[in-house]
Amino acid sequence: MPKKAESLSPTVVEAAPKRIEVRLSGSGGQGIILAATLLADASAQSGRQVVQTQSYGPEARGGASKAEVVISESEVDYPEVATPDVTLCLSQAAFDKYASEAPAGSLLYYDSGLVTPSAVTAAALIGGPFAQLAMQKLGKSVVTNIIALAALSSDAGLIDAASLRDALKRRVPARFLELNLKAFELGWGCDLSRQSG
Amino acid sequence: MPKKAESLSPTVVEAAPKRIEVRLSGSGGQGIILAATLLADASAQSGRQVVQTQSYGPEARGGASKAEVVISESEVDYPEVATPDVTLCLSQAAFDKYASEAPAGSLLYYDSGLVTPSAVTAAALIGGPFAQLAMQKLGKSVVTNIIALAALSSDAGLIDAASLRDALKRRVPARFLELNLKAFELGWGCDLSRQSG
């Protein structure tokens, strides 16, 4: 397992891109939309332009659902995510649906306990035991999304910890904040396993 | 003032469109995103495919911000709102920015106490005293968004009352639910004033 400093993927950070496309996917109830909202809010507060898009419908209730965030230094003209720089898959159905759309050079994060990365992808595969950490360390699977968001945000260099923590404080109801902040600390810089896509 | 039955605009309902584009706009803090979330959630629960998009950033904090909902009978291929069928403007800045983008044949709702419809628009202009109703009837300007959402949803025939009420019950914290349900009832079918764009 790489240490934290080594685990920072240079892909997104070094390119200093004008536009970063992030796709978060999972099953209904896994808190994908909240994770996207937190990332969008934190990015906006740090001075960037952000557009967030989420889908609802029969599909979102049953199988794989997604929420997307486009982060840009300038106004976002085109809100659609066509070639995600960062993808998260929290369920097998989400992986099977979206892995093939993650391009070469992009980062694909998945829950290593919930997903067997069987589908074809050109992206770098990065696994983390997000759901397992949530259950074993906090006894609450409901914060799997926060652990995963913190893990990928730190690893991909999407946002600084303070901005994301502040977004949690603004967005999470007071009685759940302590749990969510603990989940955030568990995920930020956590060990991840890597393989080429 | 037209009566409720007469105020039902046939534009959206009669065409039975495969795709309805809704743009809600206002200033930061007016609850535009919550209104869009409620409409999206209610529409999805009633069996339609929905994509919701919102912007964050320096612009959203200061001037006019928007949240958009695309409602479709089939999968939404293109989530961007290009020619809104329904537009809501809750602030002058939002009206000045988005009125010109509301096409002929579309419905443009605005708060008649907060907005002077000075900008050019081809849309049908439909005003309602949403903020005034919120303050005078409920003593809370914070539910202006819910009154406006209920008013335009009933007037444009976007969704049935029961579905939208259910979405409120799912999305609004318990301690604010009674206030929000009262706001909903105030807005649903309320009197609106009309003029051609």
Chain A CB contacts of B80 below 8 Å: 78-80
Select the more confidently predicted residue: A149 or B4: A149
Stretches in chain A below the pLDDT threshold 50: 1-10, 13-16, 60
Min Cα–Cα distance to chain A from B62, Å: 12
Q: What is the mean pLDDT of residues B35-56?
A: 92
Residue A62, pLDDT score: 55
Min Cα–Cα distance to chain A from B39, Å: 11
Torsion of CA B153, B184, B143, B171, to 10 degrees: -90
Q: What percent of chain B has pLDDT over 90?
A: 71
Among A60, A61, A80, beta carbon nearest to B80: A80
Residue A7, pLDDT score: 42
The answer to whether the beta carbons of residues B144 and B31 sit under 8 Å apart is yes
Q: For B71-130, write each residue's pLDDT tens digit.
A: 998 888 777 898 999 999 999 999 999 999 999 999 999 999 999 998 888 999 999 999
Please tell me whether residue A127 adopts helix, strand or coil conformation.
strand
Q: For A24-66, write each residue's pLDDT tens digit.
A: 999 988 999 999 999 999 999 888 999 999 987 665 455 788 9
Find residues 8-67 of chain B whose CB sits inside 8 Å of chain A: 40-41, 43-44, 47-61
Query: What is the residue-averaged pLDDT of chain B?
Result: 88
Residue B143, pLDDT score: 97
* pLDDT higher than threshold 60 for residue B37: yes
Q: Which residues pair with A193 in a beta bridge?
A: A127
Rounded Cα distance, B98 and A182, in Å: 42
pLDDT band of residue B6 (cuts 50, 70, 90) is very low
The model's pTM is 0.82
Burial class (CB in 10 A: 0-12, 13-18, 19+), B113: middle
Residue B191, pLDDT score: 96
Predicted-complex ipTM score: 0.77
CB contact under 8 A, A48 and B57: yes
Rounded Cα distance, A41 and A51, in Å: 10
DSSP, res B50: E
Tell me which residue of B68, B60, B64, B183 sits closest to B130, measured CA to CA.
B183
* pLDDT higher than threshold 90 for residue B162: yes
Residue B5, pLDDT score: 40
- Residue B114, C-beta contacts closer than 8 angstroms, at least 6 positions apart: B90, B91, B92, B131
Between chain A and chain B, the number of residue pairs with CB atoms below 8 A apart is 73
Q: What is the mean pLDDT of residues B130-151?
A: 97
CB contact under 8 A, A48 and B54: no
Residue B10, pLDDT score: 46
Total count of residues recorded for chain B: 197
Task: Please give the C-alpha separations between residue A41 and each of A18, A47, A171, B74, B143, in angstroms, as whole numbers.
Answer: 18, 10, 9, 30, 22
